[in-house]
């Protein structure tokens, strides 16, 4: 009688094959859910990191040039080629790959921003130090500076109250390095701003 009772209790504590399969299925579903949540979180982290990086690059590229144009006495849009800045003629479309910013009426000192189309990089130099400072990289467009009227039309004259427009298109974002194009985090990435001098004489 005692042996029979012991066998019944031992049998009651065991799992059947069906119960084992159900338990394993539940555990696998929980693990799959945890793994999916983790991978989704990592994906969202990468997207957020890319957006933060893009915003940082935008502030870096625009903050200094915006302040310098606002405080300028005069600006000239032109073309920079072979280490020479050439202003656009007064009767031509006021757009080019470079801008020269003057802080006084004597045209000196000056600050120059120019695009190197081969390296696809935007640089800053001054008349005191001609060592270029990298401002933006991976720039795809050539005509990045233009002078416009209040309606956004590119001017063909050197109006005193003109608006300086800056447009930068990129094929890559830095930190983390991300390609820009169809199928990527960004189909296109572009910085655009318009700046007016504070003092209009």
The answer to whether residue 19 scores a pLDDT higher than 70 is yes
Contacts 24+ apart (CB under 8 A), 182-186: 185/46, 185/47, 185/50, 186/50, 186/54
pLDDT value, residue 34: 92
Query: What tens digit of pLDDT does each residue of 89-138 get?
Result: 888 999 999 999 998 877 778 999 999 999 989 999 998 877 899 888 88
Q: Is the bond preceding residue 60 a cis peptide, omega within 30 degrees?
A: no
pLDDT value, residue 7: 55
What integer is the mean pLDDT of 165-173?
A: 84
Q: Identify the band that residue 8 occupies on the pLDDT scale cut at 50, 70 and 90.
A: low
The answer to whether residue 163 scores a pLDDT higher than 90 is yes
Residue 35, φ and ψ in degrees, nearest 5: -65, -40
> What pTM was computed for the model?
0.70
Query: What tens digit of pLDDT does each residue of 34-77 get?
Result: 999 989 888 887 777 766 766 666 677 788 899 999 989 889 99
Residues 128 and 121 sit within 8 Å (Cβ to Cβ): no
* Measured distance CA(103)–CA(30) in Å, rounded: 66
């Amino acid at each position: 009688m005692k042996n029979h009772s012991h066998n019944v209790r031992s049998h009651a504590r065991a799992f059947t094959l069906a119960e084992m399969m159900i338990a394993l299925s539940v555990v696998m579903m929980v693990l799959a859910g945890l793994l999916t949540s983790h991978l989704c979180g990592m994906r969202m982290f990468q997207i957020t990191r890319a957006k933060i990086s893009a915003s940082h690059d935008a502030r870096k590229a625009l903050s200094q040039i915006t302040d310098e144009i606002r405080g300028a006495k005069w600006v000239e849009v032109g073309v920079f080629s072979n280490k020479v800045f050439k202003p656009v003629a007064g009767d031509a479309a006021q757009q080019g790959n470079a801008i020269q910013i003057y802080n006084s009426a004597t045209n000196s000192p000056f600050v120059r921003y120019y695009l190197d189309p081969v390296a696809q990089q935007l640089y800053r130099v001054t008349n005191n130090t001609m060592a270029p400072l990298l401002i933006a990289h991976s720039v795809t467009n050539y005509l990045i500076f233009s002078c416009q009227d209040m309606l956004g039309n590119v001017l063909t004259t050197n109006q005193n109250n003109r608006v300086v427009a800056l447009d930068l298109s990129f094929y890559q974002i830095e930190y983390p390095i991300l390609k820009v194009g169809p199928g990527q985090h960004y189909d296109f990435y572009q910085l655009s701003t318009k700046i007016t001098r504070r003092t209009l004489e």
